[in-house]
A and B are shown apart, each in its own frame.
Chain A
Amino acid sequence: MSNNRVSRRQFLNYTLTGVGGFMAAGMLMPMVRFAIDPVLQKAGGGDFIPTGKKVSDITEVPERVDFAFEQVDAWYTSEVTSTAWVYKNGDKIIALSPVCKHLGCTVNWAGSPDHPDQFFCPCHGGRYEKSGKNIPKTPPLGPLDEFEVREKDGLLEIGKTRPNTLV
């Protein structure tokens, strides 16, 4: 036999290195991406979106306030306007997310005539108190999220959502 014949050991070595290399790459790539991604992304987080709502007009009764940003849905791209339920709690402005914590429908303040002082989800009858606290025995398992808010030149600006801090 010729002496450049690949021995069994060599063969295994080659193949295993090859496979191992792929596996390592498979594992490393996402890790590298995770590590680098935050650097590449713009700091979108702390952005506040202006609304046309005068802070002095906000009352104790939750009211819809819209604010716009761009969103791409499955096959329909649009400049989606998002909504918050905004009210004053003493001097503090509260802005709650209208997204139901069950499966994501949009909740309405006083949406059910039987519960005029609660948020109501039309999809499966989920309900929340004014603070966003979910009412037990309705489908949602957690309270409504809260938006960060700030005031600029007398107008309300809305930021990121965060877990409810009132409940």
Chain B
Amino acid sequence: MALEIVDSCVGCFACEPLCPNKAISAVMRPGEPLFFIHPERCTECLGDHDLPQCAEICPIEGAIVDEFGEPLNPPGSLTGIPLHLLDQFRVTECRQ
């Protein structure tokens, strides 16, 4: 039972100091997500907090996923930007 940080992480450091188990660290290898959750240390905050701290503060939708790959903060849930506008923006961003 552990959360995972994926590619869309922007490396903002917000989650790192909050982890009660010191499971989160910065990764300095190109091609990998900027931050990493150690799967053996992550308890999903059980026993420490009601809610997983990293996912509570993370500002990036989709950056933190559970063991099934489901994002804890799905698209639109943090910014309130409607999905069709988010999709449009992603397309233009990829072209750049």
Does A associate with B in a complex?
A: no
B interface with A by C-beta (< 8 Å) = none
